[in-house]
Amino acid sequence: MGGDRVPTRILEAFERLTGVSATEQCGSTETGPFAMNPPFGRKKPGSFGPPLHGVHVAVVDEHGADVPTGTVGDIRVSGPGIMDGYWSDSAMTRKTLQRGWVHTGDLGRFDEDGYLWFAGRRKDIIVRDGHKVAPLTVEEALSAHPAVREACVIGVPDAVFGELPHAYVVLQAGAAADPQELRAFVGGRLAEFMVPSEVHVISGMPYKGPGKIDRELLRMRAITAALIEQVPFFKNASGDFLRDVIPRLDEREYAPGDVVVHEGDVGDEMYFLTKGQVQVLRGDPPQRLAVLREGSFFGELAILTDAPRAATIRALGDVEVYALRRDAVLQIAWIHADFSRYLEDAARQYATSPETAGD
């Protein structure tokens, strides 16, 4: 097993099935292995074990001072196996390697026996109304539910609380559990501010590399939920498709009266309205054809047909859109045949009903 922390219940199930206990350890490309449970000694499932011989591991506060036993802090590593630096990246080297110590970006704590316990990645910590929420803690609570096979918790920006925890959950085969049940289950184990504001049950986790959940993809998916949940194709799209399309989305804001699209321009982008309302205008003097609200999307037909824009799109209030450039649309259509077919179907519908498709 490797790539990310393995839930304790999986370690226990592995030992029941095989009669062999797994030996957990921790390391990174920058440090090499630096902590390990004794292969033939006392293991503490869920921990990284004590530091390896000859390797120095420190858990420190923001000032670099050692924190007391049981207190969570930043994990730093020094020893003969650490890197000399990143190839051709002196800036990143200075940030990560300081005075002979690798700043791992991981959070952890030592127990009274000197075993190291992982507490999450610093960059993944969620700050909800001043309270710090460790995703790992919430994920462990969710994973304790008998119906849950896998869980991932991310922070999503919120205008009131700063961030809110959202959970993505994969259920055991044949099991059933709705979001309300899972939130109540976590609420019985953790403080109220740690309970996910939303729980999404999905068919499978997105991964990057061996065993690492793609948290950034889930975070971007949550942020663009207004788009994904409203447009049927995006709502049912595969993880590979979302991984390709989401990083290409360019977020833009418009003030009341601003023009998003000019009538007569050749279409070069695809737009998704995620906040506010816009009006569709055509002709001179302009005639209002329609008002579009959150979840609407427009522009893909002009990209396909190299046609001029059929109408002007103007912001009615503060508006936010995600724009997908022409080259990105065509690249994604070339990579993903199902998206290409979707666009072709839209073009056919436009050809048979131009007065409605033009809106």
Domain 8-120 superfamily per CATH: Luciferase; Domain 3 (2.30.38.10)
Per-residue pLDDT of the chain (359 residues; tens, 9 = 90+): 666 777 777 888 899 999 988 888 999 999 999 999 998 889 898 899 999 999 999 999 989 999 999 999 999 999 999 999 999 999 889 999 999 999 999 999 999 999 999 988 888 899 999 998 999 999 999 999 999 999 999 998 787 888 899 999 999 999 999 999 999 999 999 999 999 999 999 888 888 766 788 888 888 777 776 666 666 667 677 767 877 887 788 878 888 999 988 888 766 688 888 788 999 888 888 889 889 887 777 776 666 666 667 788 899 998 888 888 888 888 888 898 888 887 777 667 666 654 444 44
pLDDT attached to residue 21: 86
Alpha carbons 139 and 143: distance in angstroms, whole number: 6
**And the tokens for 324?**
């997908």
Domain residue spans in the chain?
8-120, 125-223, 245-357
**And the tokens for 242?**
């979302």
Domain 125-223 superfamily per CATH: ANL, C-terminal domain (3.30.300.30)
pLDDT attached to residue 327: 84
The CATH fold of domain 245-357: Jelly Rolls (2.60.120)
pLDDT attached to residue 358: 42
Alpha carbons 274 and 162: distance in angstroms, whole number: 19
Beta-strand pair 126-128/131-133: antiparallel
Q: How far is CA 11 from CA 19, 21, 24, 41, 117, in A?
A: 11, 7, 9, 17, 15
**Where is 178: in which H helix or E strand?**
none
Q: How far is CA 298 from CA 50, 232, 309, in A?
A: 57, 14, 10
Q: Is-contact 254 319, C-beta < 8 A?
A: yes
pLDDT attached to residue 359: 40
Alpha carbons 218 and 222: distance in angstroms, whole number: 6
What's the alpha-carbon Rg for the chain, to the nearest Å?
25
pLDDT attached to residue 196: 96
Phi and psi at residue 300, in whole multiples of 5°? Answer: -70, -30
pLDDT attached to residue 320: 84
| 155 closest CA partner among 211, 216, 105 | 216
pLDDT attached to residue 6: 77
pLDDT attached to residue 244: 81
